[in-house]
Chain A
């Protein structure tokens, strides 16, 4: 049994989600191959071949693969599939976009968004936005699986066999043309991997008021997130969204500010190690999952929090 993992990257750096996926794969089998599809990414492929548990890297290097067009990546994976017991990718928008195509071309039912591996054919996955957990067994010959990155620790970036093999690509679908990508620029850590996350909800009342969160985020080296209500109200862009239809985060510390705690939002953050809720509505459901609740007006609490953090830093110095 060998497992194939499809790497998510930007041609220069590997996305941490790939490290989590390799780690999930290693719970099933120790022989793991990684497929890198991209352009001018030989250096990246070489780096991935050094990762713990990775015995071989396949590199499909072509200008047509510079951007992850699902229609172009799918046939590469399908052509390799029969050599593997499992084909795995992170359940990010990258993996979600490509993997069902691979599954259907192989006539296999995909298992999406796995959070725990029970055995080589049995997996746990959240359904109903994490309000129930299903244990499912795949009876297909090859298991096509996407895994939730935050549910698995990343592998070490050393210890691999440093073997890279080039494979050809000559299958441009031609029906899809990449135009552009507008990536959110931020000096702060990435939301899905940050150790501390501070999120704002409708209670923030305006885009302007998110500055109050930014100030605290800077002091805690935190990422800033938002509830769907805040995104829908236009306070911040959609990539800030934590929840069922946004990002699932599992930081050491999650601070929910002016967020009531809709099921939608809880699905994206309730696995956080420590949860703090600041809300002026003492009945807000967010308090039911919070380790520390503060029933207060956020416009008073946030400036106080900011100055308390300053005091802390002064003492540390």
Chain B
């Protein structure tokens, strides 16, 4: 069984992002980048499925500029087997990305596609669902537990009301929640080994897919700043303020 894991290179989650003064976007130059956090959970889950003897190859796919290769290497250093880099200088929309993933999936024929439930940059939460619909494979979104049983998987999903369990047939697409697992750190020997693992690079324009943007970004701005309030000296003062000043209790 083959597993395909898609990873995205994003601004590191610890970085306080800065909006460009001209409103054209977010400052990305000289900013620390890393793998989208829930994508790390997707890589980790693939590794665990393989370690349990239920898969024999893990392929990492990333769409982006040359730097996307670093993100693929990170996943290879965690233990994945080989990489596919679809090269583009543009920021593609989930619609285009899902078409690319589907195209790769048709060639590679993985049994499960795993990815993070959303990217922490554009927060769209679309790619997994779109890929599932394009391939006509079942989807298991917001997965916090994946149990493979023969030709099916029981997936626990995190929903607003609590937890839901569904049974999906293989092949399927899983979008991973942060609580699915605890991603491992790559060891130094594995980082060295990963340098020798193959990454196949193709230009996005060579795939015959329309990746033109459909959505125009008019502007990006800072959210309204909340004014800092006051410090109260004790609980009694707090309750008085809430009662008589803010009038919320």
B-contacting residues of A (Cβ < 8 Å)?
Answer: 69-71, 74, 92-94, 96-101, 103-105, 107-113, 122, 125-140, 173, 175-184, 192, 196, 220, 228, 231-232, 237-239, 244-245, 247, 252-253, 263-264, 270, 273-276, 287-296, 301, 304-305, 308-309, 312
Contacts and interface: CB of A to CB of B under 8 A. Distances in A.
Given A182-B162, A184-B162, A122 B17 contact: no
A138 B229 contact: no
Interface in B197-249: 213-223, 226, 228-232, 234-236, 238-239, 241-243, 246, 248-249
Contacts of A136: 215-218
B29 interface: no
Contacts of A129: 120, 123
B95 interface: yes
A294 B243 contact: no
Contacts of B165: 179-181
Given A137-B215, A232-B179, A308-B239, A130 B160 contact: no
Contact of B234 (A175, A182, A183, A294): A294
B129 A70 contact: yes
Interface string B113-146: 0000000111111111110111001110110100
A43 to B, nearest CB: 21
Interface residues of B, number: 76
Contacts of B139: 70-71, 97, 101, 176
A97 B133 CA distance: 11
Say what secondary structure dominates the interface of chain A. Answer: mixed
B85 to A, nearest CB: 23
A238 B179 contact: yes
Contact of A137 (B95, B218, B220): B218
Given A109-B95, A112-B124, A263-B16, 5 more contacts: A97-B141, A103-B130, A139-B216, A293-B229, A312-B239
Contact of A293 (B129, B130, B142, B230): B230
B214 A108 contact: yes
A176 B221 contact: no
The 3 A-B residue pairs with the shortest CB-CB distance, nearest first, are A291-B229, A100-B129, A109-B214
B94 A109 contact: yes
B214 to A, nearest CB: 4
A66 B110 CA distance: 31
A305 B126 contact: no
A131 B214 contact: no
Contacts of A178: 164, 166
Contacts of A264: 13
B214 A295 contact: no
B229 to A, nearest CB: 4
Interface of B: 11, 13, 16-17, 19, 26, 93-95, 98, 120-130, 132-134, 137-139, 141-142, 144, 154, 157-169, 172, 177-179, 213-223, 226, 228-232, 234-236, 238-239, 241-243, 246, 248-249
A298 to B, nearest CB: 11
Contact of A238 (B11, B17, B141, B158): B158
Nearest to A228: B178
Given A93-B160, A112-B125, A175-B169, A289 B228 contact: yes
Contacts of A127: 26, 121-123, 220
Nearest to B152: A177
Contact of A305 (B19, B120, B129, B235): B235
B98 A104 contact: yes
A180 B232 contact: no
B178 A294 contact: no
Nearest to A122: B218
B123 A112 contact: yes
A301 B216 CA distance: 50
A228 B236 CA distance: 29
B27 to A, nearest CB: 10
Contacts of B218: 122, 134-137
B17 A128 contact: yes
A289 B248 contact: no
Contacts of B142: 93, 97
Given A131-B223, A136-B217, A136-B218, A309 B231 contact: no
B242 A253 contact: yes
21 contacts: A93-B157, A93-B160, A100-B126, A109-B214, A128-B123, A131-B223, A132-B221, A133-B223, A173-B138, A176-B166, A178-B166, A179-B165, A220-B249, A231-B179, A238-B163, A239-B163, A253-B246, A292-B246, A296-B234, A296-B235, A308-B235
Contacts of B177: 245
Given A109-B94, A109-B214, A177 B166 contact: yes
Contacts of B246: 253, 274, 291-292
B223 A181 contact: no
Contact of B248 (A237, A252, A294, A312): A252
A132 B168 contact: no
Contacts of A232: 179
A113 B158 contact: no
